A and B are shown apart, each in its own frame.
Chain A
Amino acid sequence: MANLLLSPLEKMYILHGVRDDCRSDGRTNIDYRPMELETDVVSHASGSARLRLANTDILVGVKTEIDLPNNDQPGYGKLEFFVDCSANATPEFEGRGGEQLANSISNMMQKAYQSSDAFDLKQLCIFEGKQCWKLYIDILILECGGNLCDAVSLAVKAALYNTRLPSVKTALLDGGNVDLQLSDDPYDNKLLNVDLAPLLVTLCKIGDKFVVDPSAEEENCSVISLIVGATGNKTNYNIDNKKNESCTDSKCTTIVMNGSGSLAPKTLKNAIKQGIEAVQFLDQALGQALLRERRENVTMKKYSYGFLK
């Protein structure tokens, strides 16, 4: 991350704030900073989203391509994550400087989306064993203000929610080769089911307590952080908003520990529990925002802001 210089006194101030559950910007330990989300910002991509979490700015574009399915998974599509750390965020990322961070984030996303409980790759199948959709999820990091993983996972889920796959009109089978005809009508398309797509939550251990959504300064004070990824909840993305009784619990899809410190088993267990609770809260907020935007889109009330706001 961007190099940030903090004096021992400044660190002490942050540490005491976390201990007393009142952080330097007035939040409690479980509060998130304000977020701005807009989908459909890049017209050349099939789906896109821009998320700004305080100073962290993420732009995600999803591009689709027709590909051959893997031999061992004939009925499944493919997902590929690519992270680009733009030099706009910090001059350190110039050239190939951001590659290490980019790889670690894309690996983490790949792991979180790997389970079929998190994202159903079957919906990307066109013709079993012959053709499938491959989604390129390109993540562009434009500014780093701490808590990249959470912001990236939120933006990716929003972009996937916004992704439209063109409908397949006809498929001709000609001597083993499949010839697909895609619909030309931009409104004739299929949306993806991303209700269960996972969100990541970073928990930073500062002193004896864990905080969510650490700012860049707080990340600097922490010796160890825990990233918990858990699946979303279907009921959050239902338009009729009926609370089903069969509400499934979030399942943990990935856990990563970063940093030089270590954790006792009991603290670890508590932290994971806290992380899953935070995921459920975030997922609910994201679901509400996405549903509202879709409603505005249908009623033609949506105004496109992009970066001009």
Chain B
Amino acid sequence: MPAADLLSSQGLRLDGRRANELRRIRCKLGVFTQPDGSAYLEQGNTKVLAAVYGPHQASKSKSSSDGVVVNCQYSMATFSTGERKNRPRGDRKSQEISLHLRQALTAAIKTELYPRSQIDIYVEVLQADGGTFCAGVNAATLALIDAGIPLRAYVCACSASMAWGARPQPLVDVPHVEEAAGGVVLTVASLPNTGSTALLEMSHKLHMDYFKMVFSSAVQGCRDIEVILDRAVRDHLAEGWTEQDTVTV
């Protein structure tokens, strides 16, 4: 079975975290001025930028009278990975991730409010160290909030894997080394506020007996991320406001 020694006998992972610990998340809203909303998010060594344009009038071919059309594009900088990438976008993997982003984010956006309109969400990976999709979803959520687009709830994504030692244990927030070790990787995008799951993707095989364990650890990761994102949003909104301002307003 692969991924046997992802967890040391002391219960530490290759990067020194415990099994249930996330990587350090640092983020900032409103990094750019031209887009309607933008955000930068660092999850360990994975660094992602997201920009949101819209809602604006949809092009004729895309326009839908039911609700807003969410248009996502995921691209990776050519220098973001260890080996240089030849193309930043357009390959199968980034097209697939674009579709997944769209699915996860559409679940959170109140689409019915803007018929015949379009929202463009662009995610740019500057540095990839595993979990780029998760970081992309988290950054896009912040960018959507920065753009002032009504959401049902925060949508957060987190991945989880499994360590097969003496006692099987789920690992939350999988970095590149653990992804490359060949074990199972379960990616979950959920709306922690409502408890529902917007997207689920699993690679490699996993016995059903262990599924619940891995799934719940990923969902717990999403809940932890939501707390961090929520604090970032509150800090961003409070920025520049002093007590005096609140009294006079």
Chain A residues within CB distance 8 Å of chain B: 2, 42-45, 48, 55, 57, 59, 61-63, 65, 82, 84, 86-91, 94-96, 136, 138, 140, 142-145, 306-308
Contact = CB atoms under 8 A, between A and B. Distances in A.
B211 interface: no
A144 B35 CA distance: 11
A95 B94 CA distance: 12
B40 interface: yes
Given A87-B73, A89-B34, 6 more contacts: A42-B77, A44-B82, A57-B32, A84-B88, A94-B120, A144-B34
Contact of A143 (B26, B34, B45, B79): B34
Contacts of A87: 51, 73, 75, 120, 122, 124
Interface of B: 26, 28, 31-35, 38, 40, 42, 45, 47, 49-51, 53, 71, 73, 75, 77-82, 84, 88-90, 120, 122, 124, 126-128
A86 B78 CA distance: 11
Given A44-B127, A88-B35, A142-B32, A94 B122 contact: yes
A42 B75 contact: no
Contacts of A142: 32, 49, 124
Contacts of A42: 47, 77, 79-80, 126-127
A186 B45 CA distance: 18
B122 A140 contact: no
> What are the 6 A-B residue pairs with the smallest beta carbon separation, nearest first?
A61-B79, A307-B40, A88-B51, A87-B122, A138-B78, A45-B79
28 contacts: A42-B47, A42-B127, A44-B128, A55-B32, A55-B33, A55-B34, A59-B126, A61-B79, A61-B80, A63-B79, A84-B78, A84-B88, A86-B88, A87-B124, A88-B38, A91-B122, A94-B120, A94-B122, A96-B90, A136-B79, A138-B84, A140-B77, A140-B126, A143-B34, A144-B34, A307-B28, A307-B31, A308-B26
Contacts, number: 101
Contacts of B90: 95-96
Contacts of B122: 86-88, 91, 94
Interface centre among B40, B45, B84 (most CB of A within 10 A): B84
B47 A86 contact: no
Q: Main SS of the interface on chain A?
A: loop
Contacts of A308: 26, 28, 40, 42
Contacts of B53: 91
A142 B50 CA distance: 10
B79 A48 contact: yes
Contacts of A62: 79
Nearest to A65: B84
Contacts of B126: 42, 59, 140
Given A65-B84, A84-B88, A94 B127 contact: no
A136 B75 contact: no
Nearest to A82: B78
Contact of B77 (A55, A84, A95): A84
B57 to A, nearest CB: 12
A82 B33 CA distance: 25
Nearest to A143: B32
Given A63-B79, A84-B78, A88-B35, A306 B124 contact: no
B84 A88 contact: no
Contacts of A96: 90
Nearest to B77: A140
Contacts of A2: 34
A305 to B, nearest CB: 10
Interface centre among A45, A48, A91 (most CB of B within 10 A): A91
Given A43-B45, A307-B31, A308-B40, A88 B77 contact: no
Contacts of A61: 77-80
B78 A43 contact: no
A307 B127 CA distance: 13
B120 A91 contact: yes
B175 to A, nearest CB: 13
A44 B42 contact: no
Given A42-B79, A84-B78, A142-B49, A95 B32 contact: no
A3 B244 CA distance: 41
A84 B126 CA distance: 12
